[in-house]
Amino acid sequence: MKKTYSEENYLKAIYHLGKTDNKVSPKAIADALENNPASVIDMLKKLQDKDLITYDKVQGAILSPAGEASALDIIRKHRLWEVFLVEKLQYGWDEVHDIAEQLEHIHDEQLAKKLDDFLGNPSVDPHGDPIPAQNGKMPVYANKRLSEAEENQLCKVGSVRDTSTPFLKYLKQLKVGLGSKIKVIEKMEFDQSMIISIDDGEPKTVSSKMTDNILVILD
């Protein structure tokens, strides 16, 4: 059953929100898609009619197995295209999101597989996010936030949870990339800011908003 561009975007948003929020509300979806709650309610009804989600006021929106499989398929394509754009077309990792948002909706039976093979079956996208497998399973890779690391912990940057341009630019400025080694020097109880050393460099202070959005692999 083929889905529209718009339906795919809703499924993707619900999937992502479901990872962080314990309840996916119309308002949250509206914020994510930059539209309004009335439009969201309409679409939730349609998605429920198609058995792609269940929705009620108390539980919020929950993907059905079919809905989750769809969402993962779209995320898979999105991330594969991001790899293509960065590795093959020389885009910066902060430039590819909007293009991948369009490319993820290209429909073809063989395309994802062929693209995957062409790219050498990458396991993560340029932001370090894991690429779902063909079977529709999301591999777990880096799942610990830097903000959760203890003092003196040594770790490696696995992925970023925010792919916005301002955030990625900030990382670039700090010279933090995938694989960068980070040592937690001190955690400030007061505001959860952290003093860290990046690749054995000068200690730098970063906010909790920043450390919340970096996923690391502990050493």
Partner DNA sequence: ATATATAATTAGACATAACTAATTTATACG
Partner DNA sequence: CGTATAAATTAGTTATGTCTAATTATATAT
Residues that bind a second copy in the complex, under the rule CB under 8 A:
88-91, 98-99, 102-103, 105-108, 110-111, 114-115, 118
**Could you say which of DNA, a second copy, none residue 151 binds, taking C-beta under 5 to 8 angstroms by partner kind?**
none
Number of residues that bind DNA (CB under 7 A): 23
Q: Report in angstroms how near the CB of residue 68 gets to a second copy at its nearest.
A: 24
Instruction: Give per-residue burial for 157-185: e unless 16+ CB within 10 Å, then b.
Output: bbbbbbbeeebbeebeeeebbbebbbbbe
Candidate ranges 28-36, 64-72, 85-93, 142-150; the one touching DNA (CB under 7 A): 28-36
Find where tokens 């770790």 sit.
155
Candidate residues 16, 46, 105, 204; the one interacting with DNA per rule CB under 7 A: 46
Is 54 near DNA (CB under 7 A)?
no
- The nearer residue to DNA, 26 or 128, going by C-beta atoms, is 26
Distance CA 188, CA 117 (A): 45
- The nearer residue to a second copy, 21 or 118, going by C-beta atoms, is 118
Candidate ranges 37-45, 84-92, 131-139, 145-153; the one touching DNA (CB under 7 A): 37-45
- The nearer residue to a second copy, 91 or 141, going by C-beta atoms, is 91
Distance CA 166, CA 113 (A): 32
Is 2 near DNA (CB under 7 A)?
no
Is 48 near DNA (CB under 7 A)?
no
Is 4 near DNA (CB under 7 A)?
yes
- The nearer residue to a second copy, 98 or 200, going by C-beta atoms, is 98
Candidate residues 2, 19, 20, 57; the one interacting with DNA per rule CB under 7 A: 57
Angle (CA) 128-129-130 rounded to 5° is 115
Q: Which of 69, 60, 62, 57 is nearest to 1 (CA)?
A: 69
What is the binding site for DNA (CB under 7 A)? 4-7, 9, 25-28, 33, 35-39, 41-44, 46, 56-57, 60
